[in-house]
Structure 1
């Protein structure tokens, strides 16, 4: 059977890295179109809108069909190309957990991480000296009252889940681990994830980073393990 023609539209330091990793795990050939962020805004270039109206990454073309949203891309590619790999057997508890983590990664884990990124940038932004104390006060209040507690809540929750099993969906590596890599790496980069408080999450990161498919994807994507947003 002829493999599909797959093109990954890859924005540097983005969620698109997960798609490269998934395809490496599946052993599927693919092409990569690289995009760089605007150095000032860190946003994707307008060229991505020619592929998908939102101009976001990842976007994948499979035999001309355009797929967007990393969780949907991962689930679709695993279903079509996995031949039973990376998705637990339907109807099992592991399958239910896998679907949960595919949605949790962006729906629950990423919002507080993105808020922290926004407030960090506000705190570091250039502004008149008389405005800075007001801005810093807003940042400090938001971080202490909401963002910080939410980050701690989610990190402790994920740590507790991995105390019960080796991988997010169960005893075997799955698409859920691919999807969860982005928020956990982001938490390690800028939200206080550390080995002393989160030994299971830290060990999980070490194990995914050691996978040959992960390392091949990092080379194809031209980046390391830590996302920028």
Structure 2
């Protein structure tokens, strides 16, 4: 059986959601962040050398990285669900957004978080690079969501699950949401999904904040 090594308030919530969408049986092993540092506990290193979440174990496999986990679960367990047909324009967009979430969107948000936490929130790095880049990327996301209900088109896919985390992070920043109604609509839409709600029930407290 699949075990999700689930860190509170983390990207691993997306993995729970995907498993609920696919109707796969799974177990959860819970880990709590250090209250002061907000880092994952050392016990996660016993599962994966980097001690990061999400990580899943499936028989003798240990798989880390959100995108890799999603691709593994989709390839092995989805029976064609939540992924566009191979060779279609939708499938190309699916691959793009699946990797864009962590490759382009999240690094900017993490950079902002780190600079703010180290007292550099008003620095020229933030005003000259980070803030303009966040605006560029999330204006782009807003424009894409004006074209379609979901990131790959009319159908909900695992790419939407992957994209949920950066959008939920941005939703905690009022100044980034006010001018982006489609972004807010996307978040409201996923929060209403039954599988999303079931994942919250199983995973427990889930709050993201990148102020």
TM-score w.r.t. length of structure 2: 0.95
Structure 2 unaligned blocks of 5 or more? none
Q: Which segments of structure 1 move beyond 6 Å, counting only runs of 4 or more? A: none
1:186·1:227 contact (CA, 8 Å) conserved in 2? Answer: yes
Distance 1:108 1:213, change over 3 A: same
Q: Deviations over 1:169-205 (max 9, x none)?
A: 11100010000001111111137332x4111111010
Match of 2:141 in 1: 158
Q: Deviations over 1:27-57 (max 9, x none)?
A: 0111000100111111100000000011000
Aligned Cα root-mean-square deviation (Å): 1.3
- Aligned partner (choices 62, 70, 77) of residue 74 of structure 1: 70
Q: Is the counterpart of residue 220 in structure 1 residue 202 in structure 2?
A: yes
Distance 1:191 1:180, change over 3 A: farther
Distance 1:189 1:111 in 2: 16
Distance 1:68 1:186 in 2: 21
Q: Deviations over 1:65-87 (max 9, x none)?
A: 11110011011101211111001
Count of aligned positions? 210
Distance 2:175 2:53 in 1: 26
How much has 1:115 moved relative to structure 2? 0.9
- Aligned partner (choices 188, 199, 202) of residue 181 of structure 2: 199
